[in-house]
């Protein structure tokens, strides 16, 4: 089961995401989920207002861990093998949540959209001025990557949570990789690896258009 504690170092998390990509450009499930568990620690460090966000993500990581611990675990070895297995066995709901409300495809698609948000946000943080507002950077990335998939109530709750984020430099310090300048340097080195999740996006989006929040 997901083991969530308070230690957190963003560099370690980004290294997990780097390890996701196999030589064959497959996205490997175990390091992907380990990366997410690190991000959940990060979310937990951001305070109680972020609890509903971290709970939703944790639930999704646990759904995927259950598949990885089931008799079908080999089919969930990579995102690509999961898509192939679930589609060919009609295990995915396309129009509305029905027979397979928690398919791996549905769950990973949501995690992956959230990761896209994080990618945009960290990149915004890295390239922004010292006096930039973290809440605005976070809201801008959320509006690009996630807001369209969320109902009004979630959008409002998420925006309120963002308003409680610390200043840019304090936020960079929560990454536990040194001074704000060192954190920016680490992000510059590490960000390309999160971007390399593109094979996952290719396999989840055009081939498998799961559309709106089914």
Q: Contact residues for ligand 1PW (CB under 6 A)?
A: 39, 43, 52-53, 56-57, 110, 113-114, 117-118, 138, 146, 150, 154, 158, 213
- Closest distance to ligand 1PW from the beta carbon of 189 (Å): 19
- Closest distance to ligand 1PW from the beta carbon of 55 (Å): 8
- Closest distance to ligand 1PW from the beta carbon of 157 (Å): 7
Given the complex with ligand 1PW, which of 29 and 114 has the nearer CB atom? 114
Given the complex with ligand 1PW, which of 73 and 97 has the nearer CB atom? 97
In contact, 203 and 176? CB cutoff 8 Å: no
SS3 state of residue 78: strand
- Closest distance to ligand 1PW from the beta carbon of 142 (Å): 8
Quote the CA–CA distance of 133 and 135 in Å, as a whole number: 5
Quote the CA–CA distance of 96 and 173 in Å, as a whole number: 42
- Closest distance to ligand 1PW from the beta carbon of 29 (Å): 17
- Closest distance to ligand 1PW from the beta carbon of 43 (Å): 6
- The DSSP 8-state label assigned to residue 151 in this structure reads -
Given the complex with ligand 1PW, which of 54 and 81 has the nearer CB atom? 54
Residues 6+ apart with CB under 8 A from 203: 27, 79, 80, 83
Given the complex with ligand 1PW, which of 25 and 126 has the nearer CB atom? 126
Given the complex with ligand 1PW, which of 25 and 166 has the nearer CB atom? 166
Quote the CA–CA distance of 15 and 89 in Å, as a whole number: 33
SS3 state of residue 173: helix
In contact, 198 and 78? CB cutoff 8 Å: no
SS3 state of residue 21: strand
Given the complex with ligand 1PW, which of 53 and 208 has the nearer CB atom? 53
- The DSSP 8-state label assigned to residue 211 in this structure reads -
């Amino acid at each position: 089961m997901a083991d969530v504690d308070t230690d957190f170092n963003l560099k370690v998390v980004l290294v997990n995401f780097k390890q996701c990509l196999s030589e064959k450009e497959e996205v490997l499930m175990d390091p992907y989920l380990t990366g997410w568990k690190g991000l959940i620690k990060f979310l937990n460090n951001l305070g109680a207002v972020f609890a509903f966000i971290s709970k939703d993500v944790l639930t999704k990581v646990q759904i995927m861990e259950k598949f990885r611990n089931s008799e079908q675990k080999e089919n969930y070895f990579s995102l690509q093998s999961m898509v192939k297995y679930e589609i060919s066995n009609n295990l995915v709901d396309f129009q509305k949540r029905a027979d397979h409300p928690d398919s791996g495809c549905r769950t990973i698609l949501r995690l992956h959209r959230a990761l896209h948000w994080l990618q945009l946000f960290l990149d915004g943080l890295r390239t922004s001025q010292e006096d930039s507002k973290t809440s605005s950077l976070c809201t801008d990335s959320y509006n690009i990557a996630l807001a369209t998939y969320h109902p009004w109530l979630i959008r409002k709750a998420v925006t309120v949570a963002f308003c409680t984020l610390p200043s840019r430099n304090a936020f960079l310090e929560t990454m536990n990789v040194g001074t704000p300048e060192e954190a920016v340097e680490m992000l510059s080195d590490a960000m390309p690896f999160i971007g390399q999740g593109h094979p996952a996006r290719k396999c989840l989006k055009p081939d498998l258009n799961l559309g709106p929040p089914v």
